[in-house]
Structure 1
């Protein structure tokens, strides 16, 4: 469509990648106490959820085939 008439020198393009500004960004705001407590509670909730899923999930995945407490199937009781 529209073509630029002047060419861009290669040195300008190369310098554009490594250009550093001398303007410093404003300092970050410190998190308030309530924000820190909220983040901690969210983190603890996630960790507790993972620990609970392991606590209940690992026994459910075990391949123990022996019946416990003398349980028998319904089919064997009615014979």
Structure 2
């Protein structure tokens, strides 16, 4: 019925929020010019892919109401 709460079995889990280190990590090395250029080119390629998919995909998503009515009217005229 009533269950007693157990203490955290590992002390480091309970103390993890309170622990502060006085050791600072070393600074990250700066990216070289070629790495920066390659990142920019990859970003442009991804952006161009999204833009191209929208450019070629949106016309196929449009509902052509005029062409649907034209097909129906041609079918009714054939009878």
| Distance in 2 between residues matched to 1:44 and 1:65, nearest whole Å | 36
Instruction: Specify which structure has the higher proportion of helix.
Output: 2
- The question of 1:37 aligning with 2:30 is answered no
**What is the aligned length?**
60
SS of the residue 1:48 aligns to? helix
- Give the superposed CA RMSD: 2.6
Which runs of 4 or more aligned residues in structure 1 lie more than 3 Å from their structure 2 counterparts after TM superposition? 11-16
Q: Deviations 1:18-53 (Å, cap 9, x if unpaired)?
A: 111101111110000000000000000000000000
| Distance in 2 between residues matched to 1:50 and 1:13, nearest whole Å | 44
Unpaired runs of at least 5, structure 1: 1-10
Q: CA deviation at 1:12?
A: 7.8
2:61 equivalent in structure 1: 61
Q: CA deviation at 1:17?
A: 2.7
1:1-79 aligned within 5 A: 14-67=14-67
| Higher RCO (C-alpha under 8 Å, 6+ residues apart) | 2
SS of the residue 1:17 aligns to? coil
